[in-house]
Amino acid sequence: MYTSKITGLGSYVPENVVTNDDLSKVMDTNDAWIQERTGIKERRHIKKGDGNTTSVMGVKAAKIALERAALVPKDIDMIIFATLSPDMYFPGGGVQVQEALGMRTVPALDVRNQCSGFVYALSVADQFIKTGMYRHVLVIGSENHSGGLDFTTRGRGVSVIFGDGAGAAVVSRNETGNDGILSTHLHSEGKHKDELSLQGPSTQYWVPEIIEKNPQEDIPYYPYMNGTFVFKHAVVRFSEVIKEGLEANKLSVSDIDMLIPHQANLRISQYIQEKFKLPNDKVFNNIQKYGNTTAASIPIALTEAWELGKIKKGDLVVLAAFGSGFTWGSAIIRW
C-alpha cells in the first residue's frame, strides 16, 4: 500500500477587504463586539464585477498549488471540490475546475461537509492514493459566502463571521518515505443538522416557493446558526478528534509542531491551544484577516503557514475541523 503527501499548496482571496467598521455601516454591530467574540478584524468579499465565483477562486488557488507541485493540469487524476457555496445548485464545482484547467476527463467529486469539507476531501484523496488507484489528486476548498449572507441587523450573528476565499492542495503518491498523511479521522452527528444550516433553496423550499411566494420571512434563504450551541460542541469535538488522531499514531500533544484548526472563531482556537498547553508558535490562526471561510479555511491557513516558513520538513502537522452537520475530522501529517 502507498502513502500520500501534500506536494503543492495554493490559496486565493478576493482583493476587496471588508473591515468590521464597514459592516457597522450596514448593520447594528461594532468592531469591539466582533473582535472580542471572534477575533476577526476583517474579511474578504467578492466584489460585483471582479470575476470571482466559488469555482473561479478555486481554480486560482489550484493553479498556484499545481505550479508548486511542479505539475500541469493533465497530470491530475482526480479533482475533489469542497464547498457549501457552489456557483450552481448542480453540477458542482469539480467539473468547472476540470473545464477551466483543461484537464483530462478525470473524476470530479464534490464534497458537502461545510467547515469539515477540506479534511473530508483530503481523507478521500488519501484513500484513493493509498490503494494505488490515483497518483495525483487535486483537493480544493472554496467559498463565496458574501453572495448569500443577510447583511441586515437580523443576520449579524452569522454575517460578520464569514468570508470568501479558496485554498488548494495537490496530494500525491509518496514515493520516498514514511512522511506524508499518517491518518485521517472523520465523524458526523446528524441530530444537530439544524443548528447550523441553510434550508432553502432546496427541495423543501423549491422553485415555486421562491418565485411565487418570495416570502417576506426569507429566513430559510439565509444561513441559520445557533452560535453558542455550535461553540460548545466545537470545543469538545476539536479536542476529541485531535487526540484520536494522535493516539492512532502513538503520538502525544507534545509531538505537535503545528496545529492548524479550522478558522471558526479565534476563541475556539485559543481554547484548544490552552487545553493542550501549546505555545503560540505551534498553533496557526489567520481568521483575523479572512474571517471564517469554512471549507477554504484550512487550506488557506496551511498555505499561509507554509509560505511563512512555519512548517518545515519532518514537522508533525495536525489539521482539525468542526462544523455544520455536525461533522468534524482531523488529519495527522508528517511534513
Residues that contact ligand UT7, how many (by CB under 6 A): 21
Q: Which of 83, 113, 123, 265 binds ligand UT7 (CB under 6 A)?
A: 265
Helix (H) or strand (E) holding 43: strand 42-44
Q: Is 43 in the site for ligand UT7 (CB under 6 A)?
A: no
Is 262 a catalytic site residue? yes
Q: Is 323 in the site for ligand UT7 (CB under 6 A)?
A: yes
Q: Which of 29, 123, 285, 286 binds ligand UT7 (CB under 6 A)?
A: 29
Q: What angle do CA 160, 165, 169 make, to 5 degrees?
A: 140
- Which residue(s) pair with 170 in the sheet? 8, 138
Amino acid in the structure at residue 293: T
Catalytic-labelled residue, pool 20, 115, 265, 286: 115
Q: Helices in 102-214 by DSSP H: which ranges?
A: 117-130, 156-159, 207-208
Whole-number Å distance between alpha carbons of 313 and 139: 21
List Cβ neighbours of 134 (8 Å cut-off, separation of 6 or more): 77, 78, 128, 173
Residue 264 neighbours by CB distance under 10 Å: 23
Listed ranges 33-41, 60-68, 89-97, 104-112: which one lies at the site for ligand UT7 (CB under 6 A): 33-41
Q: Of 64 and 119, which CB lies nearer to ligand UT7 in the complex structure?
A: 119
Q: Is 152 in the site for ligand UT7 (CB under 6 A)?
A: no
Q: Of 107 and 157, which CB lies nearer to ligand UT7 in the complex structure?
A: 157
Q: Residue holding cell 441559520? A: 224
Q: Of 34 and 166, which CB lies nearer to ligand UT7 in the complex structure?
A: 34
Q: Is 293 in the site for ligand UT7 (CB under 6 A)?
A: no
Q: Is 116 in the site for ligand UT7 (CB under 6 A)?
A: no
246: nearest Cα among 293, 292, 278: 278
Q: Which of 60, 68, 136, 156 binds ligand UT7 (CB under 6 A)?
A: 156
Whole-number Å distance between alpha carbons of 121 and 145: 20
Helix (H) or strand (E) holding 328: strand 327-334
Q: Of 146 and 265, which CB lies nearer to ligand UT7 in the complex structure?
A: 265
Q: Least distance from C-beta 60 to ligand UT7, angstroms?
A: 23
Amino acid in the structure at residue 282: K
Catalytic-labelled residue, pool 262, 265, 285, 286: 262
Q: What is the DSSP string of 71-99?
A: --GGG--EEEEE-SS-SSSSS-HHHHHHH
Q: Is 224 in the site for ligand UT7 (CB under 6 A)?
A: no
- Residues serving a catalytic function are 115, 262, 292
Binding footprint of ligand UT7 on the chain (CB under 6 A): 29, 33-34, 37-38, 115, 156-157, 160-161, 227-228, 230-231, 234, 264-265, 268, 292, 294, 323
